[in-house]
Amino acid sequence: MSIFKDATPEEINRVMEQSWSAFISYRTYTLRQRADFMRTIAAALGAISTTLIPVAMKETNLPEARLKSELTRTLFQLNSYADACEQGNWLEASIDRPIDHHDNPKPDLRKMRVPLGPVVVFGASNFPFAYSTAGGDTACALAAGCPVIVKAHPAHARTSEIVADCIKKAAAQCNMPEGIFAHLHGTGFEVGENLVMHDRTRAVGFTGSYAGGKALFDQAARRKVPIPVFAEMGSINPVYLLPGKLAESPVEMAKLYAGSITLSAGQFCTNPGLIMGIDNADLQQFITALGKEIERAAPATMLHPGIAQAFVTNRSKALEQDEVNIIAISQQQPEENQAIPTIASVTGRAFLNNPVLHQEVFGPYSLVVKCKDLREMLAVAAQMEGQLTSTLMATEEDIQDNLLLVETVKHNCGRIIINGVPTGVEVCLSMQHGGPFPATTDARFTSVGADGIKRFSRPLCFQNWPDSLLPDELKNGNPLGIWRTVNNELTRA
């Protein structure tokens, strides 16, 4: 139960109209003004960290160290996306000069990205800072030139409220238009639905469950004017243990994976939920070692009772399926709302025939698929739904011997890791956090890294405009000094 009142339809309407007015002026603000606003938010959040962390600890059950590093990450996102905003590469500015030829004249054409309009953001329960109120989606939308309306996650409503106050104060300090940022509460689906369906909403950022993301995506598609919903809905992040690499160090590999599976009670969308190997003595050694680690792992309190209950239900459902055998369960009794680390196994054939086993069990759970041979592993890879990540544990020889498998894996994920673990998502330009459906609703974009700004913008082409009337980004003299593609050549000239 939230202590905050759910937003009424009238309040939503007022907020959305204000956001629209804010958009009309904010879209003309310079890149520097937007970037300064984002840096001011980062500084304001940093200044209240000692107030913020204990509130978030209480609401999310996440430990202090984890929340401190998440807050640091959030400030880094705001600052680094602010730098990217000003640098302007995301604008993809291009200029094709006119050709004054009597047979084949060509007009002057110039293109850049412009903001979409008010963006509704649904924060993630498992990242109360980095993917919530002042998180990645908010930072990207502000950089793109869009006002933001956050629907607070009810599992950390107080934390969200404090962060929202900080953003509002930063907005006042930077003379931002009224309505540049709004924060609403809602404990049922109604508030979120009304925000997505409102005429003034132009895009949605979402991180959470498949059920939630897909429902909002479908609603947005049914609107009179459909809008994009960028939903990150998690995945099972398959790991392929190729025979050469597995034979080198099955026990060390098992230890590495036990750590990744149980990290933060498994509450990461990049948690390795599926591990595949060829059924042989090396895989058996891996399974035995992994089982020992999992038996020793302590149950951990989950983010909120709803997620703990979902873990119990989804884990039981997975374990009840035909031919699924439990390998190991933590030897410690879980307390209320704690998740019990669990590893199970199944044959490749049973996995291929049972779609229930392809579903995410959000928490410290992983299924080992014992494939009869590499052909069966390839069949599993070919059947795999879209994923945020896939991992190959492989020697160079393994890769050379299995090129079709490697190609197959590449084409159903957003990030392909070799000899590592999928947990741990760096914030940088080359990161891709987004994959084919159902991992996300649009595999062409990322929700981590400054390229995420592009989600909330669209290209606009100016034809034959005089230089003085063009935006600075496209003027002949390049007053902002940004990179642009001029007559097919990238230049800052």
CA dist 214 and 99 (Å) reads 47
Q: Which of 212, 244, 420, 471 binds ligand NAP (CB under 6 A)?
A: 212
Q: Which of 44, 233, 409, 416 binds ligand NAP (CB under 6 A)?
A: 233
Phi-psi domain of 424 (left: phi exceeds 0; alpha: psi -120 through 50; beta: other):
left
- Among the listed ranges 85-93, 232-240, 324-332, 401-409, the one in contact with ligand NAP (CB under 6 A) is 232-240
Q: Which of 48, 109, 310, 418 binds ligand NAP (CB under 6 A)?
A: 310
Q: Is 480 helix (H, G, I), strand (E, B) or coil?
A: coil
238 is an interface residue for ligand NAP by CB under 6 A: no
- Among the listed ranges 94-102, 181-189, 280-288, 379-387, the one in contact with ligand NAP (CB under 6 A) is 181-189
Could you tell me the smallest distance in angstroms from the CB atom of residue 120 to ligand NAP?
10
What are the contacts of 67-75 at 24+ separation with CB within 8 A?
67/128, 67/129, 70/127, 70/128, 70/129, 70/130, 71/45, 71/46, 71/129, 73/129, 73/130, 73/427, 74/42, 74/45, 74/129, 74/130, 74/134, 74/135, 75/42, 75/45, 75/46
234 is an interface residue for ligand NAP by CB under 6 A: yes
Burial call 110-144: b when 16+ CB within 10 Å, e when fewer: bbbbbbbbbbbbbbbbbbbbbbbbbbbbbbbbbbb
Site for ligand NAP in 335-364 (CB under 6 A): 360, 362
- Among the listed ranges 16-24, 83-91, 204-212, 394-402, the one in contact with ligand NAP (CB under 6 A) is 204-212
CA dist 111 and 97 (Å) reads 12
237 is an interface residue for ligand NAP by CB under 6 A: no
Burial call 3-38: b when 16+ CB within 10 Å, e when fewer: ebeebeeeebeebbebbbebbeebbebebebbbbbb
198 is an interface residue for ligand NAP by CB under 6 A: no
Q: Which is nearer to ligand NAP, 319 or 382 (CB)?
A: 319
Site for ligand NAP in 244-273 (CB under 6 A): 269
Q: Which of 59, 232, 398, 451 binds ligand NAP (CB under 6 A)?
A: 232
Q: Which of 120, 184, 276, 307 binds ligand NAP (CB under 6 A)?
A: 307
CB 113 within 8 Å of CB 460: yes
Residues with active-site annotation:
232, 269
For tokens 């107080």, name the residue: 158
Site for ligand NAP in 139-178 (CB under 6 A): 151, 153-154
124 is an interface residue for ligand NAP by CB under 6 A: yes
Q: Which of 88, 186, 243, 386 binds ligand NAP (CB under 6 A)?
A: 186
Tokens read off for 150: 């956050």
- Among the listed ranges 51-59, 77-85, 230-238, 254-262, the one in contact with ligand NAP (CB under 6 A) is 230-238
Q: Which is nearer to ligand NAP, 235 or 478 (CB)?
A: 235
Please work out the total of residues on this chain that contact ligand NAP, with binding judged by CB under 6 A.
27
Count of other CB atoms within 10 angstroms of residue 309:
12
Q: Which is nearer to ligand NAP, 250 or 434 (CB)?
A: 434
215 is an interface residue for ligand NAP by CB under 6 A: yes
Q: Is 77 helix (H, G, I), strand (E, B) or coil?
A: helix
Which residues, including other chains, have CB under 8 Å from residue 385's CB and lie 6 or more apart? 235, 358, 412, 436, 437, 438, 439
189 is an interface residue for ligand NAP by CB under 6 A: yes
Could you tell me the smallest distance in angstroms from the CB atom of residue 128 to ligand NAP?
10
Q: Which residues bind ligand NAP (CB under 6 A)?
A: 122, 124-126, 151, 153-154, 186-189, 192-193, 207-209, 212, 215-216, 232-234, 269, 307, 310, 360, 362
